[in-house]
Amino acid sequence: MPVLPRLVEAYTFEGYAVLSGLNPTHFKSFPGVPVTWIIRDGKLASSGLGISVQEVYFFECLLAALPPRPIYVIGNAMGFSTLAIALAAPGSRVVAIDTGWTAHSLEGLELTRRIAAREGLDVAALQGVSPNDVARTAMEGAGAAAFGCAFIDGYHSNKQVVKDFEAVKAVSAPDAICVFHDVHNGGLRPGLAAIAAKYPGFSSSLLEGTSSGIAVGTFGAFPSAVVAVLTAFSVPAVARPVLETALSRWSRRRRIYRRRSLTKRLNVLRKLVGLKVRPLAPKGLDGMM
């Protein structure tokens, strides 16, 4: 079974509802609906929201392109991201931490453990705070094994993302892949720039084809299989001018619609007096909308 249906089924069994992957334009353009909300008793179970459906699929693609090595996750919340990663990488040990500073955080750790045990997933959900507890929890969760991938989704500040990266770098293989959540939405590009400036050889790619604007980084070159995944979730250079034109037209859509309406009315008069009618302005995205 693909990752998403199995995840939803697992949370439903535990008495939680999963809301995820909604189109903002269908819900008053609210930008929070693509991500995952875990709901219980008619309320959000946690203030920490999970990765979107699109990002679940991204991890399926990325982890299929990587060899099975331990994976480290900073920011467990209600476990949705952790469990999605574990389902997408069944041959990898997944170690996830969360602070445990709130009842929701502790509930999320317990929930992650229960679902992982029932689903037969190789997951250690541990209480810990990055960066101070990363080394301890890495050893506790995976022994001396070096991590081949890390997912950083903790506190979203540029200073913290650098600290998180340095902590996971210390327990990871030299060629490990590091995935940063919410880089675009959280304004974390300065943090990644600071990492690149401090650590020569590190580079990252921002994936505009993910809901939160995920970035993926590593030292040296990405393996070709990973490059294929990154390309699939990026905007091709040749497509960007087309996109920019469409965005510009979309931002001017009200003026275009008013002009169309006026042209229609004037064309009625032109027909009456025998004049040639004028063409209408393109509707939406050249008729696509």
Structure confidence at residue 103 (pLDDT) = 85
Q: pLDDT tens-digit profile of 39-85?
A: 999 999 887 789 999 999 999 999 999 999 999 999 999 999 999 99
Q: pLDDT tens-digit profile of 202-229?
A: 999 999 999 999 999 999 999 999 999 9
- Token pair listed for 126: 């541990």
Structure confidence at residue 283 (pLDDT) = 61
Structure confidence at residue 272 (pLDDT) = 73
pLDDT category, 248, cuts 50, 70, 90?
Answer: confident
18 in Cβ contact with 49 (< 8 Å): no
In percent, the amount of the chain with pLDDT more than 70 equals 97
221 in Cβ contact with 61 (< 8 Å): no
Hey, is 105 helix, strand or coil?
A: helix
From the list 51, 66, 158, 46, the residue with the least C-alpha distance to 107 is: 46
* Choice among 54-68, 185-199, 255-269 with the minimum mean pLDDT: 255-269
Query: Averaged over 263-273, what is the pLDDT?
Result: 76
Instruction: Find the helix or strand (DSSP H, E) in which 41 lies.
Output: none
Whether omega for the bond prior to residue 236 falls within 30 degrees of 0, making it cis, is no
Considering the chain, what is the average pLDDT of its residues? 92
Instruction: Find the helix or strand (DSSP H, E) in which 100 lies.
Output: none
More confident residue, 268 or 210: 210
- Helix runs in the chain, H state only: 3-13, 53-64, 80-88, 103-119, 134-142, 158-169, 189-198, 224-232, 240-251, 253-273
In percent, the amount of the chain with pLDDT more than 90 equals 78
Structure confidence at residue 114 (pLDDT) = 98
Taken in order of first residue, the domains within the chain and their CATH numbers are 48-234 (3.40.50.150), 245-289 (no CATH)
pLDDT category, 287, cuts 50, 70, 90?
Answer: very low
pLDDT at 277 over 80: no
Q: What pTM value is reported for the model? A: 0.88
pLDDT category, 265, cuts 50, 70, 90?
Answer: confident
Q: pLDDT tens-digit profile of 105-128?
A: 999 999 999 999 999 999 999 999
Q: What is the DSSP string of 121-185?
A: --EEEEE--TTTTHHHHHHHHHTTPPEEEEEE-SS--HHHHHHHHHHHHTTEEEEEEEEETTTTT
Q: pLDDT tens-digit profile of 121-171?
A: 999 999 999 999 999 999 999 999 999 999 999 999 999 999 999 999 999
Going across the sheet that includes 17-19, the strands are: 17-19, 37-40, 43-44
More confident residue, 256 or 35: 35
From the list 80, 126, 277, the residue with the least C-alpha distance to 134 is: 126
